[in-house]
Chains A and B, each alone.
Chain A
Amino acid sequence: MALTIEEVEHVARLARLNLPAEEKNMYAQQLSSILDFFTILNRLPTDGVEPLAHVLPLFNVMRADETGPSLPRDEAMANAPLAEDGQFKVPKIV
């Protein structure tokens, strides 16, 4: 299963990774050989097998909807690369 450069670009776009042109070839090759390795799974019939996403028999752990202690805003924002007036700042969107 060989990934084309276009496919690598598509996946990189989905993953929000702005890859330098010279790295695209490398990832195309490496990812292709890893995907090749995955094909051994096709030898195994899995019709009717229930997928297992999680090993615990847990569903929707609920708790009472009560207010608890939380981080003060300035502490929660202390690591922000850019902030203003207690809010995260990003480049212009529209």
Chain B
Amino acid sequence: MELYQYTVQEIGEMLARREVTASEVLAASAERIGRVESRIHAFITLTLEEAEKTAKELDARDEIGGLAGIPCGIKDNLCTRGVRTTCASEMLEDFVPPYDATAVKKLKAAGAVMVGKLNMDEFAMGSSTENSGFFPTHNPWDLTRVPGGSSGGAAAAVAAGEVFYALASDTGGSIRQPASFCGVVGMKPTYGRVSRFGLVAFASSLDQVGPITRTVTDCALVMNAICGHDHLDSTSLKVPVPDYTKDLQEGIKGLKIGFPREYFQEGVDRGVRDTIMKALLKFEELGAVVEETSLPHSEYALPTYYIIAPSEASSNLARFDGVRYGYRDGNARDTVEMFSSTRARGFGPEVIRRVMLGTYALSSGYYDAYYLKALKVRRLIKEDFDRAFERYDILASPTTTSTAFRIGEKAQDPLTMYMSDMLTIPVNLAGIPSISIPGGFIDNLPVGLQLMGPPLSEATLLKAAYAFEQATDYHLRTPVLEV
């Protein structure tokens, strides 16, 4: 077994016991990147030189533990001091943040070694990473397929062994859907669990930062490092952060799991449904009580999301006007023309589409019909979950409607692409936590199992995910990238 194949937990223990040095671990990641990156294209920016310095400093310490010395990647919409943060957009191609996002700062304080910034759909808008303003990322399981999105670079890099874990963001499934497509673990924490400070805003009432890892234990370890209140994000929760690794092995005897029938209906591939149904039997074997339930407003979640998220985006992205940072069209004669040509040239087509959509939904005469209507439906969707969690501890479903689709397959029709987020979006609208873990395989492509819980139930989700993971071997399979 090569060094890059170990988990965060294992490498952490080896580092703590001084069996390896941080420099050696980094060299293993760097070598792996050198071997596979030309086929994966996960990184927008590599920071290996900086990483070497950090690793050397860590090796000089008397003690090393936790995440210290373990190479990771950061999605390129999380600000990193002194390292360009592009959001995969020409608009921010040369933007170098003067500060770290809080989640990044916390990882650095824990001794994390950042090896680079990861590709994504531009401004996190997309489901395949094909909307990156620079280049698409390829799925390590099949290079002709997408890694999912918007955190496609993050999921692909973790799956391909280029980094041990990654930090990403999830607005409508952007952590869970790529985790599902790439056969890794991805968690979207409760809204407010992780500070959003320094995360370039897409839809502020939905955005949340979370980890992508290879195992559930690794997910818990990263969660331990990034959660908590932050005075720089007034929506972050003042709730103590538990040790998420503590109850992992408790087992799930008697845990009540509901599976919403709407998540197993037409629009979800038969093979995916069957795979996840089989996964539910595994939960029963492990002692959980599994029952069918209903989230009756599920079919309305997608249109609701595609009104609310673009509306918030149209407002958030107003800041990109060529004045304070980012690209500017220098030929414009007056200020309004400068704003307008800067934005039309700096943004890619999907971002323009969503800004237009949001502007329309918020514009005079249409606000009530679209935005206000969507906010009302959002409440009904949240109340579906509230009711379900009166009877069940967690809910289980497929993460995605299909396995990874082919590059180019859905790129022509925006609406078809939007549909691929059908099963992940309701969670963001309700603000609840959710995790996607490897739940099976179809034709050597990973299928994600999604678990959803009430607010702040991350520990329960991780416990259930851990029990399933330990009873299966899906997380042990790795894509073959050797030529």
Contact = CB atoms under 8 A, between A and B. Distances in A.
Contact-size category for A: 35 or more
A68 B181 CA distance: 44
Contact of A41 (B237, B333, B373): B373
Nearest to A13: B340
Interface string B337-369: 111110110010000110111011001000000
Contact of A17 (B344, B373, B374, B380): B344
Contact of A79 (B191, B326, B359, B431): B326
Contacts, number: 156
Interface in A1-42: 3, 7-8, 11-12, 14-20, 27, 30-31, 33-35, 37-38, 40-42
A75 interface: yes
Interface stretch (B63-71, B93-101, B120-128, B241-249): B93-101
Contacts of A92: 334-335
Interface stretch (B16-24, B161-169, B273-281, B301-309): B301-309
Nearest to A10: B363
Interface in A49-94: 49-56, 58, 61, 63, 71, 75-82, 88, 90-93
A17 B352 contact: yes
Contact of A51 (B192, B303, B372): B372
The A interface is mostly helix, strand or loop, or mixed, namely loop
Contacts of B379: 49-52
Nearest to B94: A79
Interface in B229-244: 231, 234-235, 237
Interface in B366-385: 370, 372-380, 382
11 contacts: A8-B356, A18-B340, A30-B353, A34-B357, A38-B370, A51-B375, A53-B205, A76-B98, A79-B324, A81-B330, A82-B328
Interface of B: 94-96, 98-99, 191-192, 205, 231, 234-235, 237, 297, 299-300, 303-304, 306-307, 314, 318, 321-328, 330, 332-341, 343-344, 347, 352-353, 355-357, 359-360, 363, 370, 372-380, 382, 414-415, 418, 430-431, 455
